[in-house]
Chain A
Amino acid sequence: MIKQGRLKNDIVFEVINGLIMMLVVVVTVYPFLNIIALSFSKTTTIGLSLLPKEFTLINYTRVIENNLIWVGLQNTIIRVIVGTSLTLIVMIMFAYTLSKKDLPGRVFLTLFIVFTMFFDGGLIPRYILIKNLHLMNTMWALVLPRLIDTFALIVMRNYMMSLPDSLEESAKIDGASYFRILFSIIAPISMPIIATVILWTAVWHWNAWFDVLLYIKDYDKMVLQYVLRRIVIEGASDTMNVMMESVNEIVPAESIKAAAIIFSTIPILIVYPFLQKYFVKGIMVGSLKG
């Protein structure tokens, strides 16, 4: 159907567009390939090359053998799942409430949350709070403080605001509760934005390490990125680290660091396609309206 409507200009545009996109791929994937090449190298300096020097799997074995990495991976997965699902539920409900343009107190609530984007008590009060709530050394100290990202909340609210009111009218007439309207009508049609928020939240949890440093004491509650960061920054030219160096330690080779980075990125690459369909497929609003 579309084929018939294709114009000459379209073909030119598509070719140019395709070339631009190819360039984007080359430019963005390059450092990754470089790191992958390094991770398979026996030597630790390959410069900007894309081919491993003296191919070996030893770097990956070193990473996989590391017990702490597995402990970290397990905790990270738990944290991502628990954190993202809690966030999602609380956030969808709040965003939906705020999306009602005639809700009394809406402006107040909005200011109430926007304010927190700019005024933050800082590290010490937050730390004391977690201590007083007795969340220290538990997963809740990692999940609860980041329950809602105001930025994402506002984006989600605006998305829901832009949905036509007519969507829920018939349901209202049928006497459906707001709760039901939200989860049976609004949420399904908001899948692109929900997928975005899932991605943002999950990746945030995946990458987070600083809160672990703050709140977690036990070895068996470490997360992957904390371990990884330790490996990666070891020996980096940062005065704080260099001062701590002792003669009797071996700084992990750059190739092991590379293997650790790749190792921690693979799970994202595996999971992403499940979400991706919401970003590349269109939605038929019309069909849902009916």
Chain B
Amino acid sequence: MSRTVAEKKINFKIKNNMKKHSTWKKVISYRQLYLMALPAFIYYVIFHYIPIYGVTVAFKDFSFVHGITGSEWVGLEYFKFMFSGNAFYRVFSNTFILGILKICFGFPIPVIFALLLNEIRHVRFKKMIQTTSYLPHFLSWVILGGMFLQIFSIHGPLNALFEFLGMEKISFLTNPQRFRVLLVATHIWKSMGWNSIIFLAAIASIDTQMYEAAVIDGAGRIKRMIHITLPSILPIIIIMFILSVGNIIKDDFDQIFNLYNPAVYSTADVISTYVYRQGLEQMNFSYAAAVDLFKNIIALILVFTSNTIANKLDDEGYGIW
């Protein structure tokens, strides 16, 4: 507090020199670590960086005969084509809205589920809940699609229940707005248990001594959950959030493809279904690559932004970089 600006500057210079010097020292002292990182590094170079030239296909007119490198450059033509379609903006905003809904509701629920599950004291019951909760992860949408169409049909059991309760029947499948609800709900249903595993793992690694101390202080279960468990797993929540923010732009093709119908295209038609209908079967490789690249750039921006925000909020530096 009492030091002057000049002093600070000098201090800074000295430390800067010291740092340069010590970097090499550090590298040498960490040489074992670098060696341990080497296999992974080589893996990334071979399996991720060598094939990366494939990205260029988005700027080329892909020719089967000449392959990726031999195809002709066409610049941004496929991007222009992408934006020229009337439906593209709608498809894009649908993807975005759905992605945001999925993250708003789909992200906190596994966390809450993990927290609540952790409070179950009966170990067998706890294990049983956990096991059943991740089962939906193993069923494909081809199978689930038919089941959901029957459950949510206006003639289905859900509407029968509504009728029994004296409410009006609701068509989830043909109403564009409600269909969004359906997509988000079934997504949560399918992924909740599976996505909660990482949070359960984080909870499992909380030092149990902390709880013992809290119990002595007379804290109730809810208090302990909010004041010990939640803050302890916050770093993992933050990193999971940052990583999943990029998914806003990535839709679940299989889910939507197996559930949607023309009546709800106005809200359910997303980038992947659009591209599919646009004709991946027509083998338009360059176009598909352009859409992919576009999606990835948006995802990168999203992740970058959320990472920056996370770093600003949290001094510990638990962001990605």
Contacts and interface: CB of A to CB of B under 8 A. Distances in A.
Q: Verify whether A and B have any Cβ pair under 8 Å.
A: yes
A214 interface: no
Given A116-B44, A147-B43, A285-B207, A261 B139 contact: yes
B129 to A, nearest CB: 5
Contact of A28 (B34, B132, B202, B297): B132
Contact of A21 (B117, B157, B204): B117
Contact of B44 (A18, A31, A120, A148): A148
B300 interface: yes
Contacts of B156: 48
B176 interface: no
Contact of A25 (B37, B132, B140): B132
B39 A279 contact: no
B47 A145 contact: yes
B53 A125 contact: yes
Contacts of A285: 205, 207, 209
Contacts of A109: 37, 41
A10 B221 contact: yes
A272 B150 contact: no
A29 B132 contact: yes
Contact of B138 (A10, A119, A195, A268): A268
Query: Which of B48, B55, B119 has most A Cβ within 10 Å?
Result: B48
Interface in A117-132: 117-126, 128-129
Interface string A17-45: 11011001101110110110000000000
Interface string A95-134: 0111011111101011111101111111111101100010
Nearest to A123: B54
Interface stretch (B4-12, B83-91, B234-242, B264-272): B234-242
B30 interface: yes
Contacts of A265: 135, 138
A7 interface: yes
A91 B300 CA distance: 23
A29 B135 contact: yes
A14 to B, nearest CB: 7
B281 interface: yes
B167 interface: no
Given A13-B221, A25-B133, A114-B320, A100 B236 contact: no
B57 A122 contact: yes
B106 interface: no
Nearest to A47: B150
A181 to B, nearest CB: 10
A195 B201 contact: yes
A178 to B, nearest CB: 4
Interface stretch (A59-67, A150-158, A215-223): A150-158
A162 to B, nearest CB: 5
Interface bracket on B: 35 or more
Nearest to B321: A110
A224 interface: no
Contacts of B43: 90, 144, 147-148
B65 interface: no
Contacts of A133: 46
A114 B132 contact: no
B52 interface: yes
Contacts of B128: 25
Given A13-B222, A97-B36, A269-B131, 8 more contacts: A21-B117, A28-B189, A121-B55, A126-B47, A133-B46, A190-B205, A196-B197, A199-B197
Interface of A: 1-2, 5, 7, 9-10, 13-14, 17-18, 20-21, 24-25, 27-29, 31-32, 34-35, 47-48, 90-91, 93-94, 96-98, 100-105, 107, 109-114, 116-126, 128-129, 133, 144-145, 147-148, 151, 153-155, 158-159, 161-162, 177-179, 182, 189-190, 192-193, 195-196, 199, 203, 207, 229, 232-233, 236, 239-240, 257, 261, 265, 268-269, 272-273, 276, 278-286
23 contacts: A10-B222, A21-B117, A28-B136, A29-B135, A96-B33, A97-B30, A113-B44, A117-B246, A117-B303, A125-B53, A148-B43, A154-B243, A155-B239, A159-B205, A178-B30, A192-B205, A207-B138, A240-B281, A278-B201, A279-B197, A282-B203, A284-B208, A286-B209
